[in-house]
Amino acid sequence: MDTTVTGSSVPQANILIVEDEEGPREALKLILSPYFNLFTVDRAEVAHQILKTHPIDLVTLDLKLPEQSGTDLLSQIRKDGKDVDIVIITGYGTLQSAIEAIRHGVAAYILKPFDVSDLLEVIKKTLERRRRFSSLQGALQAFGNLWVSGMDMQSALSNIKTLLEAKHPELVQHASRVNFYASLLIEHLHLAQEEREAIQLGAYLHDIGKIGIHDHLISGHYSPTDQDQELLKCHPTIGAQMMRDLPFHPSVEQIIHHHHEKFDGSGFPDGLTGEQIPFPARIVGLANIFDHFVTGHGPQTAMPVPEAREKIRQEAGKSLDPKLADLFAKVVW
């Protein structure tokens, strides 16, 4: 068992290396020790103890471990709700294991033998995203406090726009359009003012979880690989976790978590069907799909509005609530 700690005179991120083979473990220590505080262990059981007793920022994890596999350890870390980034470093990788790891929210998946510069770049970028997340969550908390103190809707949306623009301009453009289409719908629905405002806010924030994902995946201007698709599917769950316990209307978190559910149950992350999908999420989900139709998304080319409107009608009862689809097709021109 190896549980050494490498210190530093300057405060650095704390990294836990979980690797049972001495050669790769020593190589990781040699590469990372000049930049980070390291904890190195050879078994999942010891890793659990380190995670319970030390503020770990990132874990490098081998999938093949004695007694308990790396996949099982990964599942347990997520089940325990540990706020830690995980980078898989393994010599036993398959596409299925990569997809499974991505579903558990790993930051990266690296195959042995690894390139030293690539490894350092991945870890540094992962830690930078972690700092961005921390900063963003602090801003959301402050914004939530202003929201419950009575901030008016226009000021609220202006603040959200500023917040998102600082992180990713394309998200702002998409969020603004989705907000507009959702607003078209709610103008024709009998909803309380509080619910209407929550839907508008949720429309702006629906993709907030994408901020932790690689920038090149956010634009939607290219055809993602299967692994990219699985990574992108994490964003509703990531976003909902970011909003948890913040002082917003419950509909905001529901929208973020469920805007990719589909009426026929083929959506994600929970495969909800019909009216199991929260009504506000059905509204924003429809607006999101329509924006993808009219702007183009991934391999899909942009459609004229009449064609996109007809496509919305065709999706009634499939991806979309049929009543909302019918109403939207009547009001969007």
Report the C-alpha gap between 64 and 43 in whole angstroms. 10
CB 282 within 8 A of CB 319: no
Q: What does the CA dihedral 215, 216, 217, 220 come to, rounded to 10 degrees? A: 120
- Which residue type does 50 have? I
- Type and span of the H or E element at 72: helix 70-79
Q: Count CA within 13 A, CB hemisphere, residue 284.
A: 34
| Ramachandran bin of 54, using left for φ above 0, alpha for ψ from -120 to 50, beta for the remaining angles | beta
| Ramachandran bin of 15, using left for φ above 0, alpha for ψ from -120 to 50, beta for the remaining angles | beta
- Which residue type does 171 have? L
Q: What integer pLDDT is reported at residue 233 of this predicted model?
A: 84
Low-confidence ranges of the chain (pLDDT < 50): 1, 3-10
**Secondary-structure class of domain 152-331 per CATH:** mainly alpha
Q: Which CB contacts under 8 angstroms, 24+ apart, belong to 117-121?
A: 119/31, 119/89, 120/31, 120/32, 120/35
Q: What integer pLDDT is reported at residue 26 of this predicted model?
A: 93
User: pTM of the predicted model, to two decimals?
Assistant: 0.64
CA 78 from chain center: how many Å?
A: 14
CB 210 within 8 A of CB 228: no
* Domain segments of the chain as ranges: 5-128, 152-331
CATH number (3.90.550.10, 3.30.56.10, 3.30.930.10, 3.40.50.2300) of 5-128 reads: 3.40.50.2300
- Type and span of the H or E element at 133: helix 116-148
Residue range 22-65, pLDDT digits in tens = 999 999 999 999 999 999 999 988 998 999 999 999 999 998 88
Give the other-Cβ count within 10 Å of 89's Cβ: 23
Residue range 158-187, pLDDT digits in tens = 767 776 666 667 788 899 899 999 999 999
Q: What integer pLDDT is reported at residue 32 of this predicted model?
A: 94
What are the backbone angles phi and psi of residue 61, rounded to the nearest 5°?
Answer: -130, 125
Nearest to 103 by CA among 200, 218, 238, 280: 238
Report the C-alpha gap between 127 and 331 in whole angstroms. 45
Report the C-alpha gap between 294 and 61 in whole angstroms. 42
